[in-house]
């Protein structure tokens, strides 16, 4: 959802010493109860209506759907089922090292102050292979950080589909691309035509942005 | 399957520089075509009939089933669907580091000569959390290396079930436990009673060992 990514990067590096269970509880509570400053709805609801429709369409047609994000895997997982219909085991993301410990007589995984994996750029195909173990048939991105994932999906045998959302709607959502410091979409725009990547223009192509939009 | 584990540890450390796709092809071919020296059937068929029945029973009752093994994840995945009805994304195992590269114009993940993760002992709960992101309701092991996974599953809220197979059948399979150098089952036998872990006695409890057994 819009604005979640920068937030995730901060969360990723913090909360050391906390158990995975407590972290999941805290992250889930926060995402369900905190309003996005621009959209005035909880973060868990600031999700794209066309994305939900595509995910549902794919699942009806026997695709298995995954989230592959640069964000923290442990931060997203508590709400992905509610938000996207995607269970925790179908979420791929960045992570910190965890250690197995017994705390107050209960076995827990404890978050350590060390990055385990950065699921971004060339890390995305690595994360996909680690978690999924198959090359995606369809991949959908929204920034240059997704180019390697998109390339990886397209390089498979048979028919493949690769898409990028271009954030072009300053009124209903945000407009940014080449010069943006976060979510830069620049090289992907240049290379899309030659590679058969489809650019989705949010302003022109999306009738409704969020489930709560009119 | 019997004897696969030592083999996996060797495979894990080899094949550096090979693409993940080629490795999967080679591993799958090997497991489908190479006979187990004792059982005279291909490794892919040297699997436990009661395990297959339990997995199927769980899935019919809306459980999602996973393999969590110390073996190499990339070595197991090519055959887990055929052998156990478990797709690649539901396999957790040990892994080497991979790097995303373009080889002969095609994007591939290349195996590096470096261990990424050892999914054994205290690593098993870590691997489960990374891949699945939920605490198992039921866990089934067969050696002391599974104790942490079993503890982790049992420590969750609500009803939990923890089992170990005890390899007691020298005639139909193998008999080993406390003094064995591989697959040692020693501490788990001592601690089972106090912890409510169920020990399954292969010789007494299993009517048929392999699908191809009479």
Indicate whether B211 belongs to any domain: no
pLDDT per residue, tens digit, chain A (214 aa), is: 445 556 666 666 678 999 999 999 999 999 999 999 999 999 999 999 999 999 999 999 999 999 999 999 999 999 999 999 999 999 999 999 999 999 999 999 999 988 999 999 999 999 999 999 999 999 999 999 999 999 999 999 999 999 999 999 999 999 999 999 889 999 999 999 999 999 999 999 999 999 999 7
DSSP single-letter state for residue A169: -
| Predicted local confidence at residue B214, as pLDDT | 79
- Count of CB pairs separated by less than 8 Å, A with B: 84
For residue A74, the chain B residues in CB contact (below 8 A) are 133
Q: Which residue of A has its CA nearest to B80?
A: A133
Domain span including residue B146:
4-205
Of the residues A76, A107, A134, A157, the best mutation for testing chain B's interface (the one with the most B CB atoms within 10 Å of its CB) is A107
CA distance A120 to A177: 18
| Predicted local confidence at residue A1, as pLDDT | 43
**CB within 8 Å of B170: residues ≥ 6 apart:** none
Indicate whether A212 belongs to any domain: no
Indicate whether B112 belongs to any domain: yes
Contact A17, A64 (CB under 8 A): no
| Predicted local confidence at residue A13, as pLDDT | 65
Contact B110, B19 (CB under 8 A): yes
Going by pLDDT thresholds of 50, 70 and 90, the confidence category of residue B7 is low
CA distance A192 to A178: 14
- A89/B89 CB distance under 8 A: yes
DSSP A23-48: HHHHHHHHHHHPBPTTT-SBGGG---
| pLDDT tens per residue, range B129-184 | 999 999 999 999 999 999 999 999 999 999 999 999 999 999 999 999 999 988 99
Indicate whether A28 belongs to any domain: yes
Indicate whether A38 belongs to any domain: yes
Q: Which residue of B has its CA nearest to A88?
A: B133
pLDDT value at B96 more than 90: yes
Indicate whether A211 belongs to any domain: no
Indicate whether A92 belongs to any domain: yes
CATH number of the structural domain spanning residue A154 = 3.40.50.1000
- A109/B99 CB distance under 8 A: no
From the list A89, A71, A87, A67, the residue with the least C-alpha distance to A79 is A87
- A107/B151 CB distance under 8 A: yes
Total count of domains within chain B:
1
Note the ipTM here. Answer: 0.94
CB nearest A20 (choices: B98, B123, B129) = B129
pLDDT value at B2 more than 60: no
């Amino acid at each position: 959802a819009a604005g979640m990514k920068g937030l995730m990067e901060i969360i990723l590096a913090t909360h050391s010493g906390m158990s995975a269970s407590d972290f999941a509880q805290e992250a889930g509570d926060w995402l369900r109860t905190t309003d996005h400053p621009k959209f005035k709805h909880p973060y868990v609801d600031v999700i794209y209506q066309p994305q939900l429709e595509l995910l549902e369409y794919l699942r009806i047609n026997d695709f298995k759907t995954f989230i592959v994000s640069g964000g923290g895997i442990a931060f997203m997982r508590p709400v992905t089922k509610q938000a996207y219909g995607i269970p925790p085991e179908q979420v791929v993301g960045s992570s910190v090292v965890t250690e197995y410990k017994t705390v107050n007589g209960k076995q827990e995984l404890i978050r350590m102050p060390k990055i385990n994996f950065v699921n971004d750029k060339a890390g995305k195909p690595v994360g996909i292979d680690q978690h999924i173990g198959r090359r995606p048939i369809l991949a959908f991105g929204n920034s240059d950080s997704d180019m390697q994932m998109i390339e990886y999906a397209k390089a498979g045998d048979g028919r493949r589909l690769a898409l990028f959302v271009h954030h072009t709607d300053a009124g209903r959502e945000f407009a940014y691309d080449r010069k943006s410091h976060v979510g830069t979409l620049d090289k992907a725009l240049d290379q899309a035509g030659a590679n058969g990547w489809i650019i989705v223009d949010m302003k022109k192509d999306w009738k409704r942005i969020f489930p709560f939009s009119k």
